[in-house]
């Protein structure tokens, strides 16, 4: 509770490349073939997952949860296509009815896009307090489930900030049904870590290495240093990440290769309170 997971990653992890792939193999199929924009490369130590040729359509982030065994039974034929326009043109030439179907951007199981309403129906809604970083009450809300880190709109704040600037959601505390808000600069995160991680192919040999980290499907990768320990993975970016929420997935890249991913459990603010 209070976390912001990526539904597409969790679906790939537990349904498309777990339940579906397992069933396909049980039925005697060799692999599953999907329309994801990513590529597979035979590299040192085995099969590696890489970004797609078309960076604008790259979907390697949401595939970061796949392991070596799953990659060995998967095909991504569109990953090497230079653009989606070529794919659409060929589909139209072959008479495929969905050749010009618009891209999907919404959560598939919430087709109307009302995520707040869907969550309220599933988990309920209860009025609670909105506080600042010092603990002072500055407003109320109608359900903590409706907020996520980095959000600005929809805040019912009865007390204006001393500097007159907008405030953003910094934290959601479901146990106390509290939303914490603060200045935009307080969204800067200097370090992220998580206990639950996996490697997309061969695991890294070193416990500390240079990499790039990406925290959203369409975010820019940020140069960083990763540390792998018995407790999990910790990543320190070269410059602060913006608006990171526990529950998000951090995907680790080395060049175009997807090395692996972890679910963010803990964040360290780059801006101390006070």
The candidate with the shortest Cα–Cα distance to 233, out of 203, 193, 202, is 193
Let me know: does 269 contact 188? Beta carbons within 8 Å: yes
Cβ-based burial of 74 (10 A; exposed 0-12, middle 13-18, buried ≥19): buried
- Active site (annotated) includes residue 108: yes
Q: State how far the Cα of 5 lies from the Cα of 10, in Å rounded to an integer.
A: 8
**Domain match, 212 and 238 both:** yes
Question: Would you state the structure tokens that stand for residue 29, as one six-digit string?
Answer: 């199929």
The mean pLDDT value for 259-272 works out to 91
Q: What is the mean pLDDT of the chain?
A: 89
The answer on 83 and 19 residing in a single domain is yes
Domain at 19, CATH number: 3.40.50.620
pTM for this model (two decimals): 0.87
Does residue 105 sit within a domain? Answer: no
pLDDT per position as a tens digit, 229-257: 999 999 999 999 998 988 899 999 999 99
Terminal-to-terminal C-alpha distance of the chain: 28
**75, 93, 111 - which closes a domain:** 93
Looking at residue 106, what is its pLDDT?
Answer: 63
- Stretch 192-205: mean pLDDT, rounded? 94
Same domain, 159 and 204: no
- Whether residue 24 is found in the same domain as residue 88: yes
Of 182, 198, 222, which marks where a domain is finished? 182
**Is 8 a known active-site residue?**
no
Kindly tell me if the per-residue pLDDT of 63 is higher than 90.
yes
Per the structure, the count of domains in the chain is 3
Give residue 116's Cα distance to chain centre. Answer: 19
Residue 101: inside a domain, yes or no? no
Domain assignment present for 240: yes
161 and 205 inside one domain = no
Identify whether 1 is part of a domain. Answer: no
Which residue has better confidence, 258 or 10? 258
Q: Is residue 42 part of a domain?
A: yes
Domain, as residue range, for 248:
188-269
Residue that terminates a domain, selected from 93, 110, 135: 93
Chain mean position to CA 227: 20
- List of residues 6+ apart from 89 with CB closer than 8 A: 99
Pairing of strands 128-131, 178-182: parallel
- Report the 10 Å Cβ neighbour count for 70: 23
**Which comes out higher in pLDDT, residue 213 or 161?**
213
Q: Give yes or no for a contact between 252 and 259, defined as CB atoms under 8 angstroms apart.
A: yes
Q: Do residues 11 and 89 both lie within one domain?
A: yes
Residue for token pair 């900030």:
161
3-state secondary structure of 153: coil
Is 132 part of any domain? yes
Q: Is residue 63 located within the same domain as residue 22? A: yes
208 in any annotated domain: yes
Q: Is the dihedral of CA 133, 220, 57, 17 positive or negative?
A: negative
Both 59 and 134 in one domain: the answer is no
Average pLDDT of 20-33? 94
CATH (domain of 250): 2.40.30.10
Residue 35 maps to a domain? yes
SS3 126: coil
Residue 169, domain CATH = 2.30.30
Q: What is the mean pLDDT of residues 139-156?
A: 86
User: According to the model, what pLDDT value does residue 263 have?
Assistant: 95
Q: Which of 8, 11, 33, 211 is catalytic?
A: 11
Structure tokens at 200: 């997309």
Average pLDDT for 102-110: 70
Report whether pLDDT(3) > 80: no
CA proximity to 53, closest of 77, 90, 83, 75: 83
Looking at per-residue pLDDT, the higher value among 247 and 83 belongs to: 247
Reading the block at residue 67, the tokens are 């392991």
| Most confident by average pLDDT, 40-54, 94-108, 146-160 | 40-54
262 strand-pairing partners: 197, 250
Task: Write the pLDDT tens digit of every residue in 153-185.
Answer: 888 788 888 888 899 999 898 889 999 999 999
b/e sequence 226-262, b meaning 16+ C-beta within 10 Å = bbbeeebbbbebeebbbbbbbbbbbbbbeebbbbbbb
């Amino acid at each position: 509770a209070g976390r912001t997971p990526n539904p597409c990653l969790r679906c790939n992890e537990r349904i498309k490349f777990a339940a579906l792939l397992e069933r396909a193999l049980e039925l005697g199929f060799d692999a599953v073939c999907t329309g994801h924009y990513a590529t597979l490369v035979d590299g040192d130590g085995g099969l590696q997952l890489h970004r797609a040729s078309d960076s604008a359509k790259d979907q390697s982030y949401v595939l970061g949860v796949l392991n070596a065994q799953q990659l060995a039974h998967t095909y991504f034929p569109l990953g090497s296509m230079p653009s989606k326009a070529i794919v659409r043109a060929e589909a139209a030439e072959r008479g495929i009815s969905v050749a010009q179907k618009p891209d999907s951007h919404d959560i598939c199981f919430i087709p109307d896009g009302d995520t707040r309403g869907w969550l309220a129906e599933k988990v309920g809604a209860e009025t609670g307090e909105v506080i600042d970083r010092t603990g002072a009450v500055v407003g109320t809300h109608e359900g903590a489930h409706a907020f996520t880190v980095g959000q600005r709109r929809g805040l019912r704040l009865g007390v204006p900030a001393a500097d007159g600037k907008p405030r953003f959601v910094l934290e959601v505390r479901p146990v106390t049904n509290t939303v914490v808000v603060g200045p935009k600069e307080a969204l800067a995160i200097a370090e992220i870590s998580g206990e639950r991680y996996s490697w997309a192919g061969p695991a890294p040999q070193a416990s500390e290495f240079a990499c790039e980290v990406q925290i959203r499907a369409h975010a820019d990768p940020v140069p960083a240093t990763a540390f792998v320990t018995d407790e999990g993975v910790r990543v320190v970016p070269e410059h602060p990440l913006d608006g990171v929420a526990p529950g998000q997935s951090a995907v680790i890249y080395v060049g175009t290769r997807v090395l692996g991913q972890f679910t963010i459990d803990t964040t360290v603010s780059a801006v101390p309170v006070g």
